[in-house]
Amino acid sequence: MGYTRGRIVRDAARASVAAAGGAGMTWAAYSFLAEQAKQARTVIPHRTDKAPSRDGVYVPGQEAVERPSDHPADVRLMVFGDSTACGLGCDDAEQTPGVLIARGLTRETGRSVQLSTKAIVGATSRGLVGQIDAMLIAGRPPDVSVILVGANDVTAVNGIESSARRLGRCVRRLRGEGSAVVVGTCPDIGVVWAIPQPLRTVMRTYSLRLAARQKVHVNAAGGRAVPLELLADRFRAAPDIMLSGDHFHPSPVGYALAAEALLPEVVAAVGEQSEPVPGPEPAPPADLANEERPTARLSRALRGVLRRDEPAA
């Protein structure tokens, strides 16, 4: 059974104040979740720094990165999305997903790859349109686009279907410009141990629902969806290794695992003569059809709780 925004919040209320009951349940649930969010914010810092970057042309058998003007590339790769697409949490640009994928693509194909990172720390699915607009104004579209987005849609409590639909439309637009598109779906936020229970379960459920709808919209738009939420067990097994020092973003080891999952689809996209053909935009399932309607006070309160000083993803 699916979860709308209102249902997720109601389930969180039941989990957190099951003993309270009665008319006071909504306020009690809000107070409880607000306190948990406050607790999480003392552990998860608000990041305003930038991820390390190393855009340029990657040449087979060469460590140095060339300037595009000095070495025209065989394949143009662009990375869009949020701070996970940027690689926030890494100390060295060589550890970021864009560089890992670029070097992997060069190694697997024997072709030179020009990497351009357009992702912005803190972006949600709403921000993807601006990133693509800026790219098209600056020059021609890439041969392959990689998108990582969704975590901030969860912390902002953006609508599941509307967030997935915006992503699908961005994929459809890139496909229309001739770019193959590979999307890493929303990660399982439940791996972030710094978020206390039951708030962590609320956010985990939300992120998994979003990932499922992202996959539907990406595939329908002619893109390739890679389910990054399936990496959650590896993160839960070793959170100190898989998460960075901010307890929220992946560590270099975590990013390497994500890049390893994405690379085969990127290689396949480069090697195939034709990409999947976009189909009609999917209709929302019945349980999400009305999610854009105004929701209860607790939903609005939870949105405020999670947005206040939220960590950028």
Q: Among 133, 91, 81, 147, which residue's Cα sits nearest to residue 313? A: 81
Question: Is 125 assigned a catalytic role?
Answer: no
- Exactly one of 55, 143, 153, 246 is catalytic; name it: 246
Is the previous residue joined to 198 through a cis bond, with omega within 30 degrees of 0?
yes
Question: Is 247 among the catalytic positions?
Answer: no
Q: Which of 157, 154, 221 is nearest to 186 (CA)?
A: 154
Q: Is 46 a catalytic residue?
A: no
Q: Distances from the Cα of 302 to the Cαs of 33, 111, 164, 185, in angstroms?
A: 7, 48, 21, 23
Q: Which of 53, 217, 249, 251 is catalytic?
A: 249
Secondary structure (DSSP) of 101-155: HHHHHHHHH---EEEEE---TT--GGGHHHHHHHHHHHSPPPSEEEEE--HHHHH
Q: Is residue 130 within 8 Å of residue 168, measured between CB atoms?
A: no
User: Which one from 83, 145, 179, 299 is the annotated catalytic residue?
Assistant: 83
Query: Which of 148, 9, 167 shows the shortest CA–CA distance to 78?
Result: 148
* Residues that are catalytic: 83, 246, 249
